[in-house]
Amino acid sequence: MGKLRSAAFIVTSGSVIFASHAVLSGNEKFYKHFIMPCFRLVDAETSHVLGVKAMSFGMVPLNNYIDPPSLTTTVWGKTFSNPIGTAAGFDKHAEAMVSLHNIGFSFVEVGSVTPLPQDGNSKPRVFRLTEDDAVINRYGFNSVGHTVVAERMKNYRAKPGKQNIVGINLGKNKTSDSAIQDYVLGVERLGDLADYLVVNVSSPNTPGLRDLQGKEKLQELIVNVLKARDSLPRKPPVLIKIAPDLTSKDKHDIADVILDPKSRIDGLIVSNTTITRPSHLKSTLKNEAGGLSGKPVRELSTDAIREMYKLTDGKLPIIGVGGVSSGRDAYDKIKAGASLVQLYTAMAFLGPPLITTIKKELEKILREDGFNNVSEAVGLDHR
């Protein structure tokens, strides 16, 4: 019995040592086949909250990968050590910026943040469509509000050492009387703390929000947001985040507005989640209400990037997002016209080691295609 116990102890300790090593070293297979399935033992929202909490305490795998010069790129006068960032929605409340940078993202988009704290929709409100590599969410802007995020961002900015790039994504309160006022407040309160600001008019879970993408409303909104931005000392770039479900006319209208000198913004994020449900979805959860993200939105979003790049003559930097889970997916978005790329859903399935894998793959593809730098491939589909 004693021998058995010792053997069990040795085996268990061995496994723990192996596991700890694999976790710490960011072993990709170990994350894919062991760590991430453990997270899936709990519901999608709990595992998200646990993941962000772990990151807020700095619990992330070691990452020794040094971004190669071919991935370094400059957008809005800011140098990004690689073009891959965390999409909005993962770090809604500005808790995990340091860890997200440590696992290899060159930039993090905090939010969406609403002026006042609000709970969002009732639970359950996030669903994993595992068979489809997808998620449906109807969070409805659960947010700690401007004041808390501003405080966290101030603490983050006050930390000594290298400041990484953090954008802030702005939303509106569900019961607010004025969407414009909510976004303007976001600019005033958070603008000086952000490397860029995003006006999110494309989340499908706040009634009426996506109507702000219509021509007149969008122009009025942008004019007011830019006025507020221009009165800030640091004047961060302002981006608009759009849906993948827009008609061709919607996209033409948006291009007209954002190229108009009165309402000329600094960039676009393409795209948010889709309210469509492609016929090939297999999961029984496919008819849950909300925005669909991950693999099924990949081509929709890449096509929208290609169209918006064309309509804007490549004059406005685009952040491409939707279904990216490999270096090839990131490259496709870059060729369609994205200067930078973001992801969320694939990381929820594959864990932090995915970021290094994507960067390695992208570096290899660029080399094979004869590019010295990722910026040379931006908009390649249009040449």
Ligand X SMILES: Cc1cc2nc3c(=O)[nH]c(=O)nc-3n(C[C@H](O)[C@H](O)[C@H](O)COP(=O)(O)O)c2cc1C
Q: How far is the CB of 139 from ligand X (least distance, A)?
A: 5
User: For residue 321, which amino acid is it?
Assistant: V
Angle formed at CA 98 by CA 154 and CA 294, multiple of 5 degrees? 115
Residue 112 annotated as catalytic: no
203 binds ligand X (CB under 6 A): yes
Binding of residue 293 to ligand X (CB under 6 A): yes
Query: Toward ligand X, which CB reaches closer, 91 or 253?
Result: 91
Q: Which residues are 241's β-sheet partners?
A: 200, 269
* Contacts of 296 by beta carbon, 8 Å cutoff, 6+ apart: 132, 133, 134, 274, 278, 280, 281, 323
Tokens found for residue 139: 């969070």
Shortest Cβ 54–ligand X spacing (Å): 17
* Rounded Cα–Cα distance for residues 122 and 132 (Å): 24
Q: Is 321 a residue that touches ligand X (CB under 6 A)?
A: yes
DSSP H or E stretch at residue 17: helix 2-25
- 137 neighbors 291 (Cβ within 8 angstroms): yes
At 167, which helix (H) or strand (E)? Answer: strand 165-170
Looking at the Cβ atoms of 184 and 354, the one nearer to ligand X is 354
> What is residue 43's DSSP assignment?
-
Does residue 47 belong to the site contacting ligand X (CB under 6 A)? no
R_g of the chain computed on alpha carbons: 21
Report how far residue 321's alpha carbon sits from residue 328's, in angstroms, rounded to the nearest whole number: 13
From 51-59, 86-94, 221-229, 260-268, span contacting ligand X (CB under 6 A): 86-94
Size of the residue set binding ligand X (CB under 6 A): 27
85 binds ligand X (CB under 6 A): no
| Rounded least distance, CB 277 to ligand X, Å | 15
What CA–CA distance (Å, rounded) separates 62 from 23? 8
Single out the catalytic residue among 81, 112, 203, 326: 203
Token pair for 99 = 């860890």
Residues 93-152 touching ligand X, rule: CB under 6 A, are 111-112, 126, 135, 137, 139
Which region, judged by CB under 6 A, interacts with ligand X, from 72-80, 216-224, 278-286, 321-329? 321-329
Q: Which of 324, 350, 362, 365 binds ligand X (CB under 6 A)?
A: 324
Residue whose CB is less far from ligand X, 343 or 366: 343
Cβ 120 to ligand X, closest distance in Å? 9
356 binds ligand X (CB under 6 A): no
SS3 state of residue 10: helix
CB of 36 to ligand X, least distance (A): 15
Between the alpha carbon of residue 277 and those of residues 109, 283, 357, the distances in Å are 26, 11, 29
The SS3 call for residue 299 is: helix
Q: Output the smallest distance, CB 186 to ligand X, in A.
A: 13
Residue at shortest CB range from ligand X: 89
User: Tokens 């992330």 appear where?
Assistant: 60
The DSSP code for 357 is H
Q: Is 169 in the site for ligand X (CB under 6 A)?
A: yes
Cβ proximity to ligand X: between 111 and 186 the closer is 111
User: Which residue, 23 or 243, has its beta carbon nearer to ligand X?
Assistant: 243
Shortest distance in whole angstroms from residue 297 CB to ligand X: 5
Q: How far apart are CA 196 and CA 238, in angstroms?
A: 6
| Interface residue list for ligand X (CB under 6 A) | 87-89, 92, 111-112, 126, 135, 137, 139, 169, 200, 203, 241, 272-273, 293-294, 297, 321-324, 343-346
User: Residues with catalytic annotation?
Assistant: 203
